[in-house]
Amino acid sequence: AQSVTQPDIHITVSEGASLELRCNYSYGATPYLFWYVQSPGQGLQLLLKYFSGDTLVQGIKGFEAEFKRSQSSFNLRKPSVHWSDAAEYFCAVGRGDDKIIFGKGTRLHILP
Amino acid sequence: DGGITQSPKYLFRKEGQNVTLSCEQNLNHDAMYWYRQDPGQGLRLIYYSQIVNDFQKGDIAEGYSVSREKKESFPLTVTSAQKNPTAFYLCASSSLGQGAVEQFFGPGTRLTVL
């Protein structure tokens, strides 16, 4: 069965520091992978997506993610975080039938 | 301005009452979805619909019902049979594809049972 694991429930980084959020997936075929961000009390916004091709994907707000098939990972990175990046981040995998499986999320805290 | 609207933003219900959450989209998407979000649980699929007058149960459909009479509308009813309805509910829509489509989300409705 398809699944998505985000090992870190909470991550705290200082403003200006680099960020990496981990995501591992389980899927038998070529995965369709997504990262979404959610501010408190709001809906989800798509940061980036991977369908095929270049394994390094650029997204909005300065985020990028790298697909590594050998490690079944799709980690999200940002070189320098801003206080406005504090939010919850969800990794997700498309199931091939228009449905998406979401991880349980990683809440990012930013220290001033 | 295209997007998804959900109303109300906050909803309070007494135990034993049914309540309907509204979801409307003007993105001309064929597929619509309802998710439930609980702290630390991620998003769980309640119901989804890929075409008008047709819908399928998701992973946690018990105690919920939906209708899809119009392409742009997909209301969710939380019935009294739902044992623990207090949660944040998110509606989403997408075009049809084969797993390679993103879903667009509404702002959510927070339901509290008193």
Query: Tell me: the pLDDT tens digits for A62-91?
Result: 999 999 999 999 999 999 999 999 999 999
CA atoms within 13 A on the CB side of A44: 29
> Does the distance separating the beta carbons of B106 and A98 come in below 8 Å?
no
Band (A1; pLDDT cuts 50, 70, 90): confident
Residue range B85-93: mean pLDDT, rounded: 96
Write down the pLDDT at residue A94.
87
Of A34, A97, A105, the CB nearest to B102: A34
Contact B42 A98 (CB under 8 A): no
Q: Is the pLDDT of residue B1 over 70?
A: no
pLDDT of residue B98: 64
Average per-residue pLDDT in chain B? 93
Please, which residues 11-30 of chain A have a Cβ atom closer than 8 Å to chain B?
Answer: none
B1 vs B5: CA distance, rounded Å: 11
Q: Residue with structure tokens 């990683």?
A: A106
Percent of chain B having pLDDT more than 90?
80
Tell me which chain B residues have a C-beta less than 8 angstroms from the C-beta of A9. 40
For B7-61, the pLDDT digits (tens) are 999 999 998 899 999 999 999 999 999 999 998 889 999 999 999 999 999 999 9
Question: Chain B residue closest to A39 (CA)?
Answer: B107
Distance of alpha carbon B89 from alpha carbon A100, whole angstroms? 16
Indicate if the pLDDT at residue B100 is higher than 80. no
Report the pLDDT value the prediction gives residue A27, as an integer from 0 to 100: 81
Q: Residue A42 pLDDT more than 70?
A: yes
- The residues, ordered by sequence, that sit 6+ positions from A21 with a Cβ below 8 Å of its Cβ are A6, A8, A11, A35, A75, A76, A77, A89, A91, A106, A108
Q: What is the DSSP letter of A9?
A: S
